Structure formats: C-alpha cells, structure tokens
Amino acid sequence: MHSDKLKTNMKRNRSTLFAVEGRPFIIPLVVLTLILAVVQCAWWVILSAAVTFFVAYFFRNPPRDIPGEDKAVISPADGRIVQKKLVSNNEYLNSDAMKVSVFMNVFNVHVNRAPFAGKVLRVEYHPGKFVNASFDKASELNERNAVTIETDDGKKILFVQIAGLIARRIVCYVNEGDCLAKGERFGLIRFGSRVDVYLPVDAQINVNIGDKVIAGETVLGYIK
C-alpha cells in the first residue's frame, strides 16, 4: 500500500504546481493565515503569510526541458557543484567511479530528477547523521538513499539523495524493477540537502566545482 501511494505521488508530481509532499505543510499554513486575517491580527497575518509563501516556494515543482542527447547525463538537482573527483571502490557499485556532487540550499527546487534513463536495480536507504551536506563526509555519515540504475548499454549509474543540516526527510518514489526516463521526477529532500551522482570512470564530465546547475536541464557530462 505504501509503495502504491508513492507511485501515485510520482505520477501526480509530473503535472502539479507544488510537490504533493508539500501539501501537509502548505494547506495548514494557508488556513492559519486566513483565520488570522478574519480576526484581524495584522502583524501575525504578515508573518504567517511570509512563512506560507516560503514553504510553497520551497515545494515548487516546475516543468523542465530535458536535453534530447542520448548520452547526456543531466543534473538530478538544482544547486551548485561542490565536488568532482574519481573515487575508488564505491560502496554501492563496488568499483571506481566519477563522483559529481550537487548541493541544494533552502532556496533551490528540491524535487529530484533521474540523471539518465534505465532500470532500477537497487534502492538502499541508510539512516545517519545530519552534518552540513556541503561537506565531503556527508556522503558517508548522513541519512541517505541510494538508487542504482542500469542503462540500455549495461552500464551502471548511481545517484544518492543525502539529507543535510536542516533536511530530515528523504522521499524516493521508485522501487527495484522500475524503469526511469531521463529527467523523470524520482523524489525530493525537504529543506536543504545534496545529491551525489556516480558515473563510469570513462565518462566525460562537463561541469566544475562552483558551477550552478538546474535539475533536468544542465548536462553534467556524457556516457561513452
């Protein structure tokens, strides 16, 4: 039943203005703001309206123009590149990989998108700490959810949702055996976080540390 609900949310997120996970936050805040307006609590109305606007802004779910290049790997998250390096014996892939990390602050869109098309081989959730997601150690210490897919060419790509200092809830819609399209929404992380992408070692990486990226649109590199 829980899996069915998540898949329903995934479908609804394709066309909704706000991610459905934001409704439990947005709707009560809207109701509170209206009540305060009725009883004419001016300053409280302003404060409540401001909080409502911020929460709604955080859960926004904009459409994106997905690049049509077959070999292009796109960013799974809005934010900036905080890491790009070769890592040895990745714990999920058991092989060397090129790691690209995208840090999201609280003002970025937090709906995550699949960086490449493929079949989901494995989904692994790990509880953990909540250190600043921009730190390298967050990849090993923080709460995280790892999704491994296999492309049509038999190559494996891993992307890991990592909770941050403020984020305390990772949402992932996909399960083992699901097929993801490039740019398809697969989850989100609430209130500040990071997504790591692990690519084959021969992948061409086109971004550098400090670059700003857009989920579903910015090309991180190319699979050979």
Respond yes or no: is residue 193 known to be catalytic. Answer: yes
Residue 2 pLDDT: 44
Residue 1 pLDDT: 37
Please give the average per-residue pLDDT across 137-161, as a whole number.
86
CA–CA gap between residue 84 and residue 24 (Å, rounded): 36
Residue 162: pLDDT above 80? yes
Residue 63 pLDDT: 86
Dig out the tokens for 160 from the structure: 């890991």
Angle between helices 23-38 and 42-58 in degrees, nearest 10: 160
pLDDT digits (tens, 9 = 90+) for 168-208: 578 888 899 999 999 999 988 876 688 999 999 999 999 99
CA–CA gap between residue 198 and residue 187 (Å, rounded): 18
Please report where in the chains the tokens 């394709």 appear, as a residue. Answer: 14
Contact 200, 223 (CB under 8 A): yes
Q: How many CB atoms lie within 10 A of CB 211?
A: 16
pLDDT digits (tens, 9 = 90+) for 60-117: 888 888 998 889 999 999 999 999 999 886 778 888 999 999 998 888 888 899 999 9
Residue 134 pLDDT: 56
Please report where in the chains the tokens 């959810």 appear, as a residue. Answer: 145
Lowest mean per-residue pLDDT among 46-55, 72-81, 152-161 = 46-55
**Which residue among 48, 75, 139, 193 is the active-site one?**
193
> How many CA atoms lie within 13 Å of 47's alpha carbon, on the beta-carbon side?
6
Q: How many CB atoms lie within 10 A of CB 96?
A: 14
Please report where in the chains the tokens 């692994």 appear, as a residue. Answer: 124
